[in-house]
A and B are shown apart, each in its own frame.
Chain A
């Protein structure tokens, strides 16, 4: 009996060990499998998160928008509020500009004098004595968010890209700071941020526009020279301007197809 019992005792014990190993393997495999599942779904969620859905606007879908910017140079008074607003909103380092204002003065002899002290941030000083101004105007400048953007083309790591809404952005987590995009931009709109050491530029205040707000410069402009709109919305004022007014872009010969449009550009403006 004892022997038998011992045998019986032994057998289940042996089976148990085998079972244990088997079960253990199953559990381990199962855990790994189950472990993979949430990992996968977490990754998928992350992918979804990358499509901008700002808080408070869960329905925001970048495919529903196509933004455009219009600058009416006839209205600009060169106060520099836009440059100041941009610097505050986006924490732009001193000496660098995401947007700036240029002053053009044309003499009767067709000489052109252009200046933009501190990017026009603090407004402009009086005219140069001896320069006989026959006409003058201000031209606000910024990233043109080109459809055929040379800057995104040359980014070696894909850190600079164009969103579906037509905004050119830089991913500062990926940018290696090579500066190739800075060289490729014909408008001088990009710079290497000395603090983050990455390329930086106007984002049309992406963090604001995806929440239904206007870019800081548009908000700050006291005369309505800067307009921002969504051409996919039927009653959008910018869309109406683009449809009805005669508009220009900077350096059209470069074929970069800017989506920042101008009204009232003069021949001397580059």
Chain B
């Protein structure tokens, strides 16, 4: 092995940082949606404070999920060919269908959840804003208890469809990699499942961070029950996710098949920082311990300790999931298919598919989330005060007085 050799065409990395960002962003979509579905379908009431935030975050990230792909395509102007002339023997041909299905589902869900608010805003606001809300209301102003009950039922059904939908959206991304026999580092049926669980991890971690930041900005207390529940979820999902990641590698190492000759050195040398340090130690072991403390010693912890622990653990897990995506996408390309050598990949800061582009693509959903939140607020709702009686809004907004001193109580 001391003589390395790359196939001449393998000198180039064709799937760049953008293809690292793509599964990362769809993972956040799927993960945030799972949290909102846990509330809407499984009636986990403690997640009420982040129910709407989860939905909006999922929507905002989904809007930009295609951006890294478009930036990566050699001919983005032909991108629609994937939907117009799909070759169904390709896993990638399903992208248009799955993405659009999910976008439609999420849009409907957001609309139904916000319908009462939109009507309320359409009545109370003026000028352009009024026009906007009137357009959003789609001419339906029925807020009778029956109509709201129907809304509630539809939300539940959509969210229930959305869970397998999210699995499909993200499992599909894992399948794209997992079903390529040419690449031993990708080719495993575990890949979609690993992607799925790490997606939920990243989604929950993102919500913990965004929720805490929002509360900080708004000067409101953080709902400790909600936070602890999310931290417990995070602990569960990260344990499953990391176990699966390790399982795959342990199997490869134990089988000692031909591919281990290249994957072994890949993990211990080429990816030693991003795999061992980031993905396993800083990104998995440390948050595992932090979340264990948080979960097992929850009642002994001071509120601020709890906030800090969950915040730090979430941040580390967001890095872990990103490094996992990197290790899969880039790791799968830095060894040559000759199995005899490695190339190097360092994304530049300013290139078309470089670090700056990735940062911008990651920031855009947050800006969109901020903008949406201006029109469809994730935390205050006029309907919460005006329609205190309706079952849906009770579910979504009438939060305990301890957490929402401002938004509380019917007027």
* Mask of A173-189 contacts with B, CB within 8 angstroms, 1/0: 01111111011111111
| Closest chain B CB from A86 CB (angstroms) | 12
Report if A66 contacts B (CB, 8 A): no
Q: A95-B11, A182-B14, A192-B14 are in contact. Are A150 and B182 (CB under 8 A)?
A: yes
A177 to B77, CA, bound (A): 11
* Mask of B310-347 contacts with A, CB within 8 angstroms, 1/0: 00000000000000000000001100111110000000
Report if B111 contacts A (CB, 8 A): no
Of A10-18, A153-161, A205-213, the one contacting chain B is A153-161
A186 surroundings in chain B (CB, below 8 A): 181-182, 337
Report if B144 contacts A (CB, 8 A): no
Report if A4 contacts B (CB, 8 A): no
A197 surroundings in chain B (CB, below 8 A): 74-75
Q: Residue on A with the closest CB to B3?
A: A113
A50 surroundings in chain B (CB, below 8 A): none
B127 surroundings in chain A (CB, below 8 A): none
A180 to B9, CA, bound (A): 15
B176 surroundings in chain A (CB, below 8 A): 180
Report if A96 contacts B (CB, 8 A): yes
| Closest chain B CB from A5 CB (angstroms) | 63
Q: Residue on B with the closest CB to A197?
A: B74
A176 to B71, CA, bound (A): 12
Report if B395 contacts A (CB, 8 A): no
Q: A174-B81, A197-B75 are in contact. Are A154 and B5 (CB under 8 A)?
A: no
Q: A113-B3, A156-B95, A186-B337 are in contact. Are A176 and B14 (CB under 8 A)?
A: no
Report if B139 contacts A (CB, 8 A): no
Report if A247 contacts B (CB, 8 A): no
B76 surroundings in chain A (CB, below 8 A): 176
A86 to B331, CA, bound (A): 31
| Closest chain B CB from A97 CB (angstroms) | 5
- Structural contact, A188 and B7, CB atoms closer than 8 A: yes
Report if A73 contacts B (CB, 8 A): no
* Mask of B223-253 contacts with A, CB within 8 angstroms, 1/0: 0000000000000000000000000000000
- Structural contact, B5 and A157, CB atoms closer than 8 A: no
> Which residues of chain A from 61 to 115 have any CB-CB distance to chain B below 8 Å in the complex?
95-97, 100, 102, 111-115
A150 surroundings in chain B (CB, below 8 A): 180-182
* Mask of A234-270 contacts with B, CB within 8 angstroms, 1/0: 0000000000000000000010000000000000001
* Mask of A184-207 contacts with B, CB within 8 angstroms, 1/0: 111111111000111000000000
- Structural contact, A100 and B8, CB atoms closer than 8 A: yes
A140 surroundings in chain B (CB, below 8 A): none
Q: A183-B15, A183-B183 are in contact. Are A154 and B91 (CB under 8 A)?
A: yes
A155 surroundings in chain B (CB, below 8 A): 87, 90
- Structural contact, B86 and A157, CB atoms closer than 8 A: yes
- Structural contact, B180 and A188, CB atoms closer than 8 A: no
Report if B12 contacts A (CB, 8 A): yes
Q: A157-B81, A197-B74 are in contact. Are A191 and B338 (CB under 8 A)?
A: no
- Structural contact, A188 and B3, CB atoms closer than 8 A: no
- Structural contact, A176 and B183, CB atoms closer than 8 A: no
Q: A157-B82, A190-B9 are in contact. Are A198 and B74 (CB under 8 A)?
A: yes
A114 to B4, CA, bound (A): 7
Identify which of A154, A155, A157 gathers the most chain B CB atoms within 10 Å of its CB.
A157
- Structural contact, B5 and A114, CB atoms closer than 8 A: yes
A96 to B181, CA, bound (A): 23
A191 to B10, CA, bound (A): 8
Q: Residue on B with the closest CB to A119?
A: B8
> Which residues of chain B from 60 to 78 have any CB-CB distance to chain A below 8 Å in the complex?
69, 72-76, 78
- Structural contact, B93 and A183, CB atoms closer than 8 A: no
B85 surroundings in chain A (CB, below 8 A): 157-158, 174
A175 surroundings in chain B (CB, below 8 A): 74-75, 78
A176 to B183, CA, bound (A): 22
| Closest chain B CB from A254 CB (angstroms) | 6
| Closest chain A CB from B66 CB (angstroms) | 12
Identify which of B82, B90, B333 gathers the most chain A CB atoms within 10 Å of its CB.
B90
A112 surroundings in chain B (CB, below 8 A): 3
- Structural contact, B182 and A183, CB atoms closer than 8 A: yes
B146 surroundings in chain A (CB, below 8 A): none
Q: Residue on B with the closest CB to A83?
A: B8
B93 surroundings in chain A (CB, below 8 A): 156-157
- Structural contact, B182 and A270, CB atoms closer than 8 A: no
> Which residues of chain B from 142 to 199 have any CB-CB distance to chain A below 8 Å in the complex?
176, 180-183
- Structural contact, A114 and B9, CB atoms closer than 8 A: no
Identify which of A113, A175, A183 gathers the most chain B CB atoms within 10 Å of its CB.
A183
Q: A116-B8, A153-B90, A191-B12 are in contact. Are A270 and B3 (CB under 8 A)?
A: no
| Sample (26) of A-B pairs whose CB atoms are under 8 Å apart | A96-B9, A96-B12, A111-B3, A114-B3, A118-B8, A141-B7, A153-B90, A157-B86, A157-B87, A157-B93, A158-B85, A175-B75, A176-B74, A176-B78, A176-B79, A179-B14, A180-B92, A182-B9, A184-B182, A185-B182, A187-B7, A188-B8, A191-B9, A191-B14, A197-B75, A270-B339
Query: Which residues of B pack against A, CB within 8 Å?
Result: 2-3, 5, 7-12, 14-15, 69, 72-76, 78-79, 81-82, 85-87, 89-93, 95, 176, 180-183, 332-333, 336-340
Given contacts A100-B9, A254-B182, 6 further A-B contacts (CB under 8 A): A97-B9, A150-B181, A154-B90, A156-B93, A156-B95, A178-B74
